[in-house]
Structure 1
Amino acid sequence: MKPILAAGAVLWRRAAEVEIAVVHRPRYGDWTLPKGKLDDGESRYAAAVREVAEETGFRCALGRSLGLVSYAVDGVPKSVDYFAARVVDGEFTVNDEVDKLEWLTPTAAAARLTYDHDRAVLATFCEHGPETTTLLLVRHGHAGRKDKWPGPDDERPLSKTGRVEAKALAKLIPLFGPDRVHSAPKTRCVQTVQRVAERLRVEVRMEPRLVESAPLDKAMGRLQEIVSESGTAVVCSQGGVIPDLVRGLAEDSSVDVGEAHSRKGSMWVLSFVGERMVGALYIRQATNT
């Protein structure tokens, strides 16, 4: 039996205090967090943003992963990926699935929610509070073989596969609400995030300390400087340094990053409270993930 795949979010905003969106579904008579099934070929990240918009009327920016919830619906296994999601703009209107939306404090929202698994997701969200800092650490896309490129390696461009990966990343990355773009000064790195920069109408900031030949302590220091700035940054670098950076950031935290993979065209969603990393999500590829 094919499992049901879905995605949702703890949608939050700051008024006088942090408020959580809780929705009422008349079909089921329940109060829940916004969520819904993935469309064919849709990523869980795109599905979470789309479902929030469809059920609540609000456009959102994704933050850290809040984990996977699994249960059965009429005997069919269902899994829901949840994310923190900050309101960008919008307004609630009654729709086919939701007839009421309430903005509640986390404590009041937990009391209103119908299901224990929703309360568990909300509790995970509350562990670090809503306003964590997100860093999107991207490895450049495929750029062909080094020994087949006649020019300087710094100028080696993306291959056809790499351009496809860059196009996919340009759809994925904006779901997390970035506001600035950084890149190691390699043509293939800059090309990987150029579309994102153009969409944001910002320049790509060159980061010579983030090339794989730079001393690791210098690269780590620069990455921490970027994290300390407000907003959400995109940083594109190379496979020879990204795993070490991820492991280094995780050393003083309780976050398990495993083998710290860094596939070409992949992305790490790293979440911080101050300088401490509190979450790490590896996205192996930008499509169908």
Structure 2
Amino acid sequence: MSKKKETTVWAAGGVVWRPGASGSTDIDDVEIALVHRPRYDDWTLPKGKAEPGETLVDTAVREIAEETGQRVVLGRHLDDVHYDLGSTRKHVRYWSARALGGEFAADHEVDDLRWMSTSKAHKALSYPLDRAILEEFTRLPADLHTLLLVRHAKAGRRSTYKGDDRERPLDKLGRAQADALVPLLVAFGAARVHAADRVRCEQTLEPLQHRLGVNMHSEPALSEESYKADPSAAQQRIRELASEGSATLAVCSQGKVIPPLMDWWADHDGITLPKVSTRKGSVWVLSLHDGRLVAADHIPGPLPTA
């Protein structure tokens, strides 16, 4: 008898948090949103299945809104969990998600929402996997600063482009990637736009610039030629950008800058990076605390993979 084929399902959600009653964002003071599902009579973190044409970032933002009524800004990636439901293998990706406000509305899927301290939430959660995600959330401060480091989108081949390579524009796929980057970067709170002084870098973030209605800031130190001549200038500049106030910056650079720059930064601040291929249109979601890099998550591209 042939073995029944296993179905794979991806879902996404988050640890939705808000400052405590006093406005404190200390990890022991923040409040966590748990939802009750009447079908299972359980208390869980908000999450749900990805729909066709969605990225998991899209899924997390949508499902959190549907289950809690909250608009959120995503932060660091917490973990992926995996479990079996019959012949279905389910994978769920979780992010830290700061609540911006909203109103809960009960329905047949979620009939109650409660805000709890992290310690009370840990006790109330029905499943060990959810408790493990909450434990990862509490490992670092809740209120981390985010910087989004983007590799420019597809721009054809350097060898076939006739003219000054600094002026090489995005191709058709690159323009689609640039458009798709907008909701992804906005989900992480992008508020300012910076790009290396290359047309393909600027065009990668132009749709985001137009969405936000802001100016684009030029970053000559983050071009490949400048980095090759003086890596320390790029290192200093990215640290300056990471320390600029509370606004989340989207910063676009190039393929011969980002990998060595990230290796230097991770070594400098003592974190381990995931092993990734920095493809065109990919994004590093960098989490910082007091100017120090404390976590780094890599999103391989802005377009849905299935």
Q: TM-score if structure 2 supplies the norm length?
A: 0.90
Separation in structure 2 between the aligned mates of residue 260 and residue 245 of structure 1, nearest angstrom? 14
Q: Name the structure 2 match of 1:12.
A: 17
Q: Secondary structure at the match of 1:122?
A: helix
Aligned partners of 1:246 and 1:260 also within 8 Å: no
Whether 1:113 and 2:130 are equivalent positions in the alignment is: no
**Distance in 2 separating the partners of 1:135 and 1:178:** 8
1:134 aligns with 2:139: no
8 Å CA contact retained: 2:168, 2:199: yes
What are structure 2's unaligned runs of at least 5 residues?
1-5, 25-29
Instruction: Report the equivalent of 1:164.
Output: 176
Is contact 1:61-1:176 (8 Å) kept? Answer: yes
Deviation at 1:253, TM superposition (A): 4.2
Partners of 2:116 and 2:45 lie apart in 1 by 12
Q: Distance in 2 between matches of 1:2 and 1:280?
A: 30
Q: Which moved more, 1:272-281 or 1:119-128?
A: 272-281
User: Which runs of structure 2 are paired with 1:236-251 in the superposition (5 Å)?
Assistant: 236-251=252-267
**Deviation per CA, 1:246-289, whole angstroms, max 9, x where unpaired?**
11111034532244532111111111122322222111111125
Q: Quick check: 2:209–2:215 contact (8 Å CA) kept in 1?
A: yes
Matched-pair contact (CA < 8 Å) for 1:11–1:85: yes
Post-superposition offset of 1:78: 1.2
CA distance in 1, matches of 2:293, 2:182: 25
In structure 1, C-alpha distance between the alignment counterparts of 2:268 and 2:89, rounded to whole Å: 37
Q: Does 1:99 align with 2:99?
A: no
Is the CA contact 2:15–2:95 (under 8 Å) kept in the aligned structure 1?
yes
**2:64 matched to which residue of 1?**
52
Residues 32 and 254 of structure 1, relative CA distance in 2, 3 Å threshold: farther
Q: Establish whether residue 224 from structure 1 lines up as the match of residue 239 from structure 2.
A: yes
Report deviation, 1:185. Answer: 1.1
1:160/1:108 CA distance change after superposition, 3 Å: same
Q: Retained in 2: the 8 A contact 1:184–1:211?
A: yes
Please list the CA deviations of residues 122-151 of structure 1 after superposition, one character each: whole Å capped at 9, or x if unmatched.
110111121111111111112122343333
In structure 2, relative to structure 1, the CA distance for the partners of 1:60 and 1:261 (3 Å cut) is: same
Contact in 2 for aligned 1:169/1:286 (Cα 8 Å): yes
Residue in 1 aligned with 2:3?
none
Give the distance between the partners of 2:35 and 2:54, measured in 1 at CA.
Answer: 23
Deviation at 1:239, TM superposition (A): 0.6
CA contact (8 A) 1:227 1:275 kept: yes
Sequence identity (%): 46
Alignment of structure 1 residues 180-195 onto 2, 5 Å: 180-195=192-207
Distance 1:5 1:151 in 2: 44
Tell me, in whole angstroms, the C-alpha distance in 2 between the residues paired with 1:37 and 1:258: 25
Counterpart residue type for residue 211 of structure 2: R
Deviations 1:150-190 (A, max 9, x none): 33222211111211111121232111111111111111100
Kindly tell me the number of residue pairs found equivalent between the two proteins: 289
Moved more, 160-169 or 49-58: 160-169
Which aligned pairs between 1:137-156 and structure 2 lie closer than 5 A?
137-156=149-168
Per the alignment, do residues 258 and 8 of structure 1 end up closer, same or farther by CA in structure 2, a change over 3 Å counting? closer
Residue 301 of structure 2: aligned partner: 285
1:196 aligned residue (208, 217, 220): 208
Q: Distance in 2 between matches of 1:249 and 1:83?
A: 22
- Unaligned ranges ≥5, structure 1: none
CA contact (8 A) 2:104 2:113 kept: yes
Give the TM-score normalised by the residue count of structure 1. Answer: 0.95
Is residue 22 from structure 1 mapped to residue 58 from structure 2 by the alignment?
no
Q: CA deviation at 1:232?
A: 1.2
